[in-house]
A and B are shown apart, each in its own frame.
Chain A
Amino acid sequence: MGVEGIGASVVRKEDRRFITGKGRYVDDIKLQGMTHAHFVRSPHAHAKVKSIDSSAAMKMPGVVGVLTGQQIVDDKVGNLICGWAITSKDGTPMKMGAWPAMAPEKVRFGGQAVAVVIAETKNQAKDAAEAVVVSYEELPAAADIRAAIQPSAPQLHPRRPAT
């Protein structure tokens, strides 16, 4: 205590707003006319997405739109980027499958988003999400590590086997 310069404790400048609840995290921001999103998620761990019918959802109050994984592909938005390009001991680059923001054709984990409802309020988006009809074809899933490392285990990324 009483040290100045090198070795002195420097109190943070930003703490006041955080300890008084006046931080501005993304969900705290309210913009005039903003809309809200609620995702439609797969109940299956591994499945083909056969079809998505959003016609009923589009008619519901406050709904602005329903977007799907296929539209991300069609609009050439691109996939999520993995920022950690590590290599194996022999220098081969890390094997990485493609990760779209929403699954266009195949769901690879339980809860993966397949569509998103945009509406004027959160509750309207939630209610409309329940009206989006998704048809899945279930595929086999490996639900623990021992099953996942078997040579016969279901492959998640056909172009990157044994990921």
Chain B
Amino acid sequence: MKTMKGLPICAALLGGLLPIAAAYGAGYTAVTAARLTNPEPENWLMTRGNYQGWSYSPLDQINAGNVKKLVPVWAYSTGVNSGHQSPPIVNNGVMFVSTPSAQVIALDAKTGTPLWRYKRELPDDFSALHNTNRGVALYGDKVYVMGLEPVLVALDAKTGKVVWEATLEDYHQGYYSTMAPLIVKGKVMAGVSGGEFGVRGFVAAFDAETGSPVWKTYTVPAPGEPGSNTWETPDTWKRGGASTWMTGNYDPDTNLTFWGTGNASPWFGDQRPGDNLYTSSTVAIDPDTGAIKSHFQYHWNDSWDWDEMNAPMVVDYKKDGKTVKGLLKPARNGYLYWLSRSSDGIGFVGATNYVKQDVFKSIDPKTGRPTYNEDKKPGTGKKASFCPSLWGGKDWPFEAYNPKTGMVYIPANENHCGFLEGKVQEYVAGKWWTGVDIPDIGFTVAKDAKFFGDIQAWDVSGGKKVWDYKFEKSMAWGPILTTGGGLVFTGGTNDRKFRAFDASTGKLLWQVATNSGVTAPPSSFSVDGKQYVAVVSGWGVDPAFQQGLLHNLIPSWDAAVPEGGVIWVFALSE
């Protein structure tokens, strides 16, 4: 790991690129550890709104009774194509939005007036499977963004000027990064993508002030480390995957960060016998030391490319009349998991499938370990079909938890399956290394399916689905926001719409067609006492690729959704 310093001098050498002092320069409010632990309702200081990952705003000025009066108050074109997956982050009237290829735009949150813009120049030989960016993190007077290559960049929040950079790994080995960093007590944590290129995942922490590396923890153990016996064939761990491509959540009570890990690598389990810890797992990491304190693996010896990259939400719920300090996760494997959390470990409480899943024969009620229908497990030279497809019951788009309704809202996808047959591929650093060529990745839909995308609401304490809203002609790729006003906001459909639902009943209350498809997390904030809802519309990457496949299967569906990023900000009409 290298830390790059001295860049302000470089910037001066280059000349002419120094940012201007923005109007709010003196007035920017520093972000403290205390503010991140207890974020003010009027702000949206991190990707999912709070450390617990709820994607919940307590603001209630916009509610089920008046949401029909929601109108755009300003919009701003990012000038960038491809998949925008970044939430508008807001700190006391200043908004920060990142774009694909890690640009950052700072704007006045009330008026949309641009304040500064940061553009990152990629090396000319760089490539990545996904060029998206999932948002900035704030701490002190800095803004942190992950450059794709993968380089963690600290910017001056007032000017957009680079303060420091830190390289996480060598992109020539297939590493890249798209995630929003997580900041806990002055440490900036970030992970990596690259599970299709034979990387070994890790989470790394840096000093927020200086960029100095603090710790680096691999999510695949080396020989002799706990869990290494789950890699039964020598050296398979070295390229074992378990990438860490989504932001972790944090529980201040136990002082544990929770990170999701991606698929095992290559995709076919018979090429790496064993459970393959900590692939397709949640890993609890001490933010102070980087020590792995506990883990929970959703499915062992992954063979379906079911990454479990999303961290579980930190949510307390009732079970048999007792409050459980819990974790909740709608997994890509199609099951909704109720777990318990403590400083001693992660416990299994229960799981139920929220979409059709035909791989698990059973789940051990004590450990949560599944048994498999072996006919549904692809291998090397062994073709198998399985449901859901590799995109899972849900992919990365965030679910949301509303403490007022006690419900979790899931952007689910139903009625799609896949089939795979593995082969041994020669490993070359930085090249595709999954064990299957792209043309051989099978994707099917149920011909008689009445719907595909499905926004589901589940009672976290009762363990039952309360309502759902089905999309007949689209998958659901929209992260969800829920609010104290009893609303659920999400986009994610190929008709470009952004919608509001009644959080209690699922009734569609409001919708607007945007410029493109919405695959970014919405956020909510207030300035001068007025509540706003903001979201970036900009279709691309996996939803675009999948839309092309769906068009081939269902010709009446459009082959493409128009691209181009636009930040939309809505408020109630006067």
Q: Do A and B assemble together?
A: no
A: which residues have CB within 8 A of B? Answer: none
B: which residues have CB within 8 A of A? Answer: none
